Amino acid sequence: MTDHFERVKEYILELGFSIDEEIPEEEIVVINDAERGIHELVIDCEDDLVVLEQLILKFEGEVPAAVYRRILQMNRSLVFGAFILNEEGNLLLYRNTLALDNLDLNELETTINALSLGLAENGDELLGFLA
């Protein structure tokens, strides 16, 4: 287990989150905070990067091109990170990647806050994509 992984876990706890799941051999932790829209946010330490990723919604059936366009427009207003699609195009996720070597508490906090803010600002519209 690397020092980076331990530092990331310390930051998470310092930010007031509890670690709901941990996979030490893969250097992954999962956190939740329902009030802030954080639901199974995966924080994965990969070599010299930390990847934060959360499932936002799962599309059923064909997704209209207008939805993809709107998601790209929403990304413009996100402070950090982006809404992304998986390879199959049926999962919408939030994702941000940060450098581990110089990661600080503020940077990790800002990324998590950007997710919360992005969901607060776009949540109703995102849910509308499922209708």
**Tell me, what DSSP letter sits at residue 18?**
-
Which residues, 6+ apart, have CB-to-CB distance to 73 below 8 Å? none
Structure confidence by residue, pLDDT tens digits, 4-27:
999 999 999 999 999 999 999 999
Distance CA 68, CA 90 (A): 11
pTM comes to 0.93
pLDDT of the residue at 113? 95
pLDDT of the residue at 61? 87
pLDDT of the residue at 21? 97
| Of 30, 52, 40, 56, the residue nearest 108 (C-alpha) | 52
pLDDT of the residue at 130? 86
Report the sign of the C-alpha dihedral through residues 43, 31, 96, 103, in that order.
negative
Q: What are the CA-CA distances from residue 79 to residues 64, 75, 83, 112, 121 (Å)?
A: 26, 9, 12, 10, 12
Q: Looking at this protein, which amino acid is placed at residue 63?
A: V
Q: In this structure, are residues 22 and 28 in contact, taking their beta carbons and an 8 Å threshold?
A: yes
**Tell me, what DSSP letter sits at residue 64?**
P
pLDDT of the residue at 131? 73
Distance CA 107, CA 90 (A): 29
Kindly give the parts of the chain with pLDDT less than 50. Answer: 1
